[in-house]
Amino acid sequence: MSSKSEDRREHTCISCGINISGTDAAKFDCPECGTLIYRCSTCRKQSNLYECPDCGFTGP
Ligand SMILES: [Zn+2]
Ligand SMILES: [Zn+2]
């Protein structure tokens, strides 16, 4: 049997699009629609804007 089981979805930073799995990225709900949003620590430090993929809400 194969020991490789990739069951978890990969998450990407909402602002810059990098893969943030395994990093200390922030995770929060969209204040408008509640969609789960991930943002990498770099973007969080720089307070980059994010845009919700579901409702288009933008925020710092
Ligand atoms: Zn980022
Ligand atoms: Zn939203």
Per-domain residue ranges of the chain = 10-60
**In this structure, what token pair is assigned to residue 29?**
């709900």
Residues, CB-to-ion distance under 5 Å, ligand 1: 13, 15-16, 40, 43
- The whole-number pLDDT of residue 8 equals 60
**Distance, CA 16 to ligand 1 centroid (Å)?**
4
Write down the pTM of the prediction.
Answer: 0.75
Helix/strand/coil (H/E/C) assignment for every residue in 13-42: CCCCCCECCCCCCEEEECCCCCCEEEECHH
**pLDDT-above-70 percentage for the chain:** 85
pLDDT tens digit sequence for 21-48: 889 899 999 999 999 999 999 999 998 8
From 55, 10, 13, 14, select the one nearest 32 (Cα to Cα). Answer: 55
Amino acid in the structure at residue 56: G
